[in-house]
Amino acid sequence: MKKKLFAFAFFAASVFALNAQNEDLSFVMQKDSLDKKEIPSYSVEKNIVIDKDEIRLALDSTTGAFSLYALPEKGREIALLSSYDSGSSSFFALKAGRKEYKLARGTGIKTESRRTPLGAQMAYLIPDVAQVVVDFSFLPSIPNSTRTDMLRVTVYTINLGKNVQSFALKGVFDTVLGENTSAHFSTAARSKVNSETLFTNMSDDLWIRSSNAKAAVQFLLEGAGISRPCNVVLANKENLVNSSGWIPSVQHGKSFTSVLSYNNSAVCINWDTAYLDPLKTSAVGFFISVATDGELPAGKKFLSDLAHGKTMLGIYSKVAVPTTDVAPLPTPLTPQEAGLSEKEIHDYTKNGTPFVEVTEEQLDPEYIQNLLDHIASLSNDVDKEELDRLNLELDSILAKLGVER
């Protein structure tokens, strides 16, 4: 279902409130969308499969699972993560206070898959606790290229409770490519990793790569625009999935074989705890690069480009993840930047300032909730005028409903 937006300055934030890479992000909207005054935010779909050059992304809202594939020039797709048991062995998990949640449908968690302008999202709702949105955005590793070989993964956590709460996030990825080769994993500093390993600092290793002769997948975990993990564990998949501790225990030198599975390796990435006020948002982000046909996935050159602020495909300026506990607001496009006509600019603004007149559609509970979520996502250094305007809109809506804020 397409979201209709009712204020020009609001539409850019609505499109990117959950796709935001940093405060410099901008997006060039399609002119026909502007002419219709209908800006696509996301559409909810039961199952989503997107093929972009070298990568296939698949989301299943019935299970909350995500799958990744490499697409070689010839032949069938190559699974980058285990597809056994509907892909449930690769997942994100949330720790709220002392309680842990595996993010998947069931046990009171609701899931929703969304198609976005840049890729797709999987949203997980834990009622009265949190909403977690995993955003997958496609991009090329080479500046100004149009060939997609990477995913930008940004995970947003919104506190839906009534009190300040601690939230920690981890991702488990059941890799498969290296399991029948001489090296289960490799990093920038290590050509082979064939036993359980704990990384507490990725400044030298930079990435975790799983590869064979046909394909490679690489998790970039250190560099500009990447949220530094506090722990990265390589271990047997069963040990990671069934770990009794939030951070899995490691037996250095132990093989990736367990009583339940042979040579079955996986990656677990833990990020630092964030403390969030009610309706505040935290975000962590990293990149996944993919290669096929014996090529190497994007690595040091891409990280160097990030460090020097080179743009990607003309829609990104600096690609970065917020370093604060609150996801920042992307910079909205001005009417002139969006290519609006003088009449359209007049329709969307009053004396150069965007405004919103309350309509019946804005009284819809879903619209009001989206507005609340958007206000809650603003960073501390957001432009005060923008925050005042959004709060004024909310006050106007509530006043029309006869509700005191």
CATH code of residue 246: 2.70.98.40
Rounded to the nearest 5 percent, the helix, strand and coil shares of the chain are 20, 30, 50
pLDDT reported for residue 309: 80
Q: Is residue 143 part of a domain?
A: yes
pLDDT reported for residue 227: 95
Q: How far apart are CA 328 and CA 330, in angstroms?
A: 6
pLDDT classification of 210: cutoffs 50, 70, 90? very high
Q: Is residue 371 part of a domain?
A: no
**pLDDT (tens digit, 9 = 90+) per residue, 322-372?**
333 444 333 344 444 344 455 544 544 444 444 445 566 566 666 676 667
pLDDT classification of 289: cutoffs 50, 70, 90? very high
Of the candidate ranges 13-22, 226-235, 367-376, the one whose mean pLDDT is the lowest:
13-22
Q: Mean pLDDT across the chain, nearest whole number?
A: 77
pLDDT higher than threshold 50 for residue 192:
yes
Of the chain, the percentage scoring pLDDT greater than 90 comes to: 49
Q: Is residue 203 part of a domain?
A: yes
Of the candidate ranges 213-217, 232-236, 257-261, 307-311, the one whose mean pLDDT is the lowest:
257-261
pLDDT reported for residue 29: 23
Beta bridge partners of 124: 111, 132
pLDDT higher than threshold 90 for residue 72:
yes
48-52: which pairs have CB atoms within 8 A and are 24 or more residues apart? 48/113, 48/114, 48/115, 48/120, 50/115, 50/119, 50/120, 50/138, 52/138, 52/148
pLDDT reported for residue 374: 67
Beta bridge partners of 115: 43, 120
Q: Is residue 29 part of a domain?
A: no
Q: How far apart are CA 22 and CA 381, in angstroms?
A: 12
Number of domains in the chain: 1
Q: How far apart are CA 239 and CA 241, in angstroms?
A: 6
Q: Is residue 320 part of a domain?
A: no
**pLDDT (tens digit, 9 = 90+) per residue, 263-281?**
788 999 999 999 999 989 9
Q: How far apart are CA 241 and CA 244, in angstroms?
A: 9
Q: Is residue 35 part of a domain?
A: no
Q: Is residue 262 part of a domain?
A: yes
Could you tell me if 224 and 323 are in contact, meaning their C-beta atoms sit under 8 angstroms apart? Answer: no
pLDDT higher than threshold 80 for residue 318:
no
pLDDT classification of 36: cutoffs 50, 70, 90? very low
Q: Is residue 99 part of a domain?
A: yes
pLDDT classification of 110: cutoffs 50, 70, 90? very high
**pLDDT (tens digit, 9 = 90+) per residue, 115-129?**
998 999 999 999 999
User: Phi first, then psi: what are they for 122, rounded to 5°?
Assistant: -115, 120
Sheet strands (E) in 363-404: none
Helix (H) or strand (E) holding 384: helix 384-401
The residue among 386 and 76 whose pLDDT is bigger is: 76
pLDDT higher than threshold 50 for residue 23:
no
Which range of residues forms the domain containing residue 285? 43-307
Task: Give the residue-averaged pLDDT of 94-108.
Answer: 91
Of the chain, the percentage scoring pLDDT greater than 70 comes to: 67
Of the candidate ranges 187-191, 251-255, 276-280, 287-291, the one whose mean pLDDT is the lowest:
251-255
> What one-character DSSP code corresponds to residue 3?
P
